[in-house]
């Protein structure tokens, strides 16, 4: 697919995009747009510091490996609420996330963010697509990611293919932490992601959840902050699949293999409930 790139002069306005998202409730087609969005953005030191605090990252002079998602969020919202995008944003389910840090992300004050959607595939519960995001500086690509999203109720031809991640190495407990009742609101303030399922029990119940659940990308960020001494700072791919949601409030335990260039991880809750599973590998 050849992407038709549109370059924006400034970051989109999130309040307007949330209104647009709230008004879109129907599936309008089964083809993804071939357009992508790009914009040069500045890294706000105060917002970055607040993000580090909420997710547990130390200030080591590098952008946290999950932070480019925050830089890209408004562009992602604009793309996913455009008239050309066929699925309603509210109700999309984040199934998995894969990021690649290609070079050390130190001294990044301004970068070009690019977002597009691709790889529409049938799924047992609907259809999936990849939300693809890249971060570039003057020297080229620094970071790239794919988030696999599920839209329920879409009918596509073909057999569903699901790629399951599973730990293959011996895992030991690294740490545990509590996900407080308000972590969804805390993360929303630093990320811009005010999805109602994360904010309160009342708003989550409107979408079929008995209580608020933690953002998947907060779970991943909090995990990578805890594993910072385990992981290389560049030439690394970190893939996770989100399993059972982390209901708020709750306590979770992080398991991981020994520090190395490759490894496995698992986030579990009470009763060995598996919330997230993943691995890290050198970039191929």
Residue 224 is encoded by which pair of tokens? 């990578």
3-state SS, residue 239: strand
Q: What is the pLDDT of residues 108-123, one digit of tens each?
A: 999 999 999 999 999 9
Contact 38, 114 (CB under 8 A): yes
Q: Which domains does the chain have, with CATH numbers?
A: 1-163 (3.10.129.10), 165-284 (3.10.129.10)
With CA atoms as reference, report the closest residue to 212 among 187, 192, 190: 187
Report the pLDDT value the prediction gives residue 157, as an integer from 0 to 100. 85
Q: What is the pLDDT of residues 49-98, one digit of tens each?
A: 999 999 999 999 999 999 999 999 999 999 999 999 999 998 899 999 99
Report the pLDDT value the prediction gives residue 63, as an integer from 0 to 100. 97
Between residues 166 and 187, which one has the greater pLDDT?
187
Strand partners, 277: 241, 266
**Angle, in degrees to the nearest 10, between helices 45-55 and 216-226:** 80
Contact 111, 71 (CB under 8 A): yes
Contact 61, 105 (CB under 8 A): no
> Nearest 5 degrees, angle CA 170-CA 174-CA 175?
145
Report the pLDDT value the prediction gives residue 207, as an integer from 0 to 100. 83
Report the pLDDT value the prediction gives residue 1, as an integer from 0 to 100. 64
For the cut 90, the answer to whether the pLDDT of residue 21 exceeds it is yes
Report the pLDDT value the prediction gives residue 265, as an integer from 0 to 100. 97
The whole-angstrom separation of Cα 121 and Cα 129 is 6
For the cut 90, the answer to whether the pLDDT of residue 147 exceeds it is yes
* Average pLDDT value for the chain: 95
Q: What is the pLDDT of residues 160-185, one digit of tens each?
A: 877 788 888 899 999 999 999 999 99
Q: What is the pLDDT of residues 193-207, one digit of tens each?
A: 999 999 999 999 988
Strand partners, 130: 118, 148
Rounded to two decimals, the pTM is 0.95
Give the torsion through C-alpha atoms of 202, 28, 95, 187, to 10 deg: -40
The whole-angstrom separation of Cα 237 and Cα 278 is 11
The whole-angstrom separation of Cα 4 and Cα 170 is 45
Q: How far is CA 58 from CA 12, 64, 235, in A?
A: 29, 9, 20
Q: What is the pLDDT of residues 237-249, one digit of tens each?
A: 999 999 999 999 9
């Amino acid at each position: 697919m050849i992407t038709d790139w549109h370059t924006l002069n400034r970051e989109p306005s999130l309040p307007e995009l949330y209104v647009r998202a709230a008004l879109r409730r129907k599936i309008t087609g089964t083809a993804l747009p071939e357009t992508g969005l790009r914009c040069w953005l500045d890294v706000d030191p105060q917002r970055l510091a607040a993000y580090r605090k909420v997710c547990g990252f130390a200030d080591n002079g590098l952008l946290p490996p999950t932070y480019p998602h925050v830089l890209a969020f408004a562009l992602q919202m604009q793309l996913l609420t455009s008239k050309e995008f066929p699925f309603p944003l509210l109700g999309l389910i984040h199934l998995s996330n894969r990021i690649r840090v290609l070079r050390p992300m130190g001294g990044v004050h301004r970068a070009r963010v690019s977002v597009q959607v691709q790889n529409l595939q049938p799924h047992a519960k609907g259809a999936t697509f990849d939300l693809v995001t890249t971060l570039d500086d003057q020297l080229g690509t620094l970071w790239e990611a794919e988030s696999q999203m599920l839209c329920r109720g879409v009918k596509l031809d073909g057999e569903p293919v699901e790629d399951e991640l599973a730990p293959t190495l011996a895992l030991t407990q690294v740490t545990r932490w509590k996900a407080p009742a308000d972590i969804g609101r805390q993360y929303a303030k630093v990320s811009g992601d005010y999805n109602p399922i994360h904010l309160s029990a009342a708003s989550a119940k409107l979408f079929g959840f008995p209580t608020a659940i933690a953002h998947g990308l907060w779970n991943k960020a909090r995990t990578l902050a805890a594993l910072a001494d385990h992981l290389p700072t560049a030439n690394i791919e970190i893939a996770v699949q989100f399993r059972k949601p982390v209901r708020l409030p709750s306590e979770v335990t992080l398991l991981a293999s020994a520090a190395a260039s490759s490894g496995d991880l698992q986030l579990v809750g009470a009763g060995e409930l598996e919330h997230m599973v993943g691995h890290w590998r050198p970039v191929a």
